[in-house]
Amino acid sequence: MSGALLLGLAVAGVSFTLKVIVEGIKALREVMALWRSDEERHRWRQRQLFAARAAREIHDLGLGESWSDHRFAELEAEVEAQGALRKPTVFGLVAGDSSAKRRERSLTAALSKSAERIILLEGDPGSGKSVALKHVAERLATRASKAWSLGAVIPLYVNLKEFSLSRGALDANAVHDFVLSYLKRGNDRDIDAFLDQEFDRGLRDGTWLLLFDSFDEIPEILAATDNRTIERYTEALSSFLHGMKRCRGVIASRAFRGPRAAEWPTFMIMPLSDGRRRELVGQFGLRRERVRELLVAIAGAGPDIQVMASNPMFLGMLCDHVQAGRPFPSHAHDAFESYVERRLSRDRERLYRRHAIDPDALQATAEAIAFGMTAGSSPGLSPTRGAIQRVLSELGRPETATLDRDMDALEYLKLARGSDTSGISGTERTFTFAHRRQWAIEVAGILPRTG
């Protein structure tokens, strides 16, 4: 019997065995489902549907921000972590101490191995914190939507930039109410009913994974002049995640104005290594020779380009800049200005047909808004449209007459996005640049029309 025939038979045997195993697992799940009561089967199905919806929401959020999960591999962060690990044993997972710092090449793996109740995910603006949280949320939600266990962990992505305390004390109850209202923002009766029944139960049983994004962009923290405000929000989140609850939480923030909690293990997103940088550049569809030229140019660039090229967000802009046929930039802000100009000019005709505005005029308005976000009585990086109107009026900017139309146009081009909360309209809608800090720092601080 020939070697090729033996190999073919072996492959066929393995394929048949795997098919039998898969069919056996499906049959086992069906049998397990029969053992459940009607109430348990209903809860199981409702949890699957909720998880599937959570995965779709993260996917749709990514589309609104020009981000796609299939490209996350280029942004997987190396982290420097400290804290307990969940170690596999014959009988499951147990927590084991790991007090020494360690390097993890995959943020997703690091989060899954951690046994800590609260994790601080820390990194510079544009380092990939939000992208990482959304990646983890979409992957875990998709997995939970197919899980047959009632104890499957479902991720809940919550953006803290919308955490505005209008009244009452800042405590665990305030966090609880905000999270619940954020999850109900879709104006869906079925989701409201599900959360009313399952939210507190999931907190107690540990079947939620709370993924808190943008701690440093909480409006009150952005406006704070001392550390006490940061400490109060830190204490409130810590209190919410502890007590009688078993759920775990991840809180993402940059170091500046980040949570003050020495006992929280910190996952620090490290700058891109040379290997990660090559991997990311290779994902942008550049020709092989252009990839080599770009990497050589980065290696020989000035210190500001060197530092920024270790940042995933800026490196993506740099690739986009070179892909457009432009020469390698001499300064970091040149790549960002080029990015904005191309985004405006490529849709010049669509922009005029839909919003009757010229790209140059729209760029002037965008720069004015970015300047307003950092000047004087700053409304923060995710203000309401009404707050932007007020601050620009105070600064005497002429763009305020057509401001609402211009913000609609920026959202249309995906250079900005509006409120995540359904049902809010008019001046109460929030407005956020897609690259918030880059606009606030680069545009407001460098481009001439903001002077």
Grade residue 441 by pLDDT with cuts at 50, 70 and 90: very low
Cβ–Cβ under 8 Å, residues 399 and 368: yes
What is the pLDDT, as a whole number, of residue 366? 85
- Which helix H or strand E contains 152, and what residues bound it? none
Q: Write down the H helix ranges in 283-381.
A: 288-299, 303-308, 312-323, 332-345, 348-355, 359-374
pLDDT bin (cut points 50, 70, 90) of residue 7 is low
Helix axes 274-282, 288-299, angle to 10 degrees: 140
Q: Does residue 220 contact residue 229 with C-beta atoms inside 8 Å?
A: yes
The percent of residues in the chain predicted with pLDDT above 70, rounded, is: 74
Supply the pLDDT for residue 291: 86
Angle at 136 between CA 65 and CA 433, to 5 degrees: 20
Residue pLDDT, tens place only, 212-229: 999 998 888 887 888 899
Residue 220, class by beta-carbon neighbours within 10 Å (0-12 exposed, 13-18 middle, 19+ buried)? middle
- Per-residue pLDDT band for 348 (boundaries 50, 70, 90) equals confident
pLDDT tens readout for residues 22-75: 666 655 665 555 566 888 888 999 999 999 999 988 877 766 555 544 444 434
For the ranges 58-72, 188-202, 398-412, the lowest mean pLDDT is seen at 58-72
The pLDDT of residue 102 is 66
Check residues 444 and 38 and name the one with the higher pLDDT. Answer: 38
The whole-model pTM stands at: 0.74
For residue 5, pLDDT over 70 is answered with no
Q: Locate 149 and state its tokens.
A: 């266990």
Nearest to 73 by CA among 140, 8, 23, 135: 135
Pick among 3.10.450, 1.20.950, 1.25.40, 3.40.50: CATH of 29-269: 3.40.50
Q: Is 320 exposed, middle or buried (0-12, 13-18, 19+ CB in 10 A)?
A: middle
| Residue 211: its H or E element | strand 208-213
* pLDDT tens string 333-345: 777 777 777 778 8
Give the tens place of pLDDT for each residue, 358-387. 888 888 888 888 888 766 566 667 788 888
The span from the CA of 414 to the CA of 392, in Å, is 22
Indicate the pLDDT class of residue 209, thresholds 50, 70 and 90.
Answer: very high
- The residue type at 338: S
What pLDDT sits at residue 33? 57
Average pLDDT value for residue range 11-15:
60
Query: Rounded to an integer, what distance in angstroms lies between the CA atom of residue 314 and that of residue 57?
Result: 26
Residue 251 carries which DSSP code?
E
Residue 11 binned pLDDT confidence (cut-offs 50, 70, 90): low
pLDDT at residue 440, rounded to an integer = 47
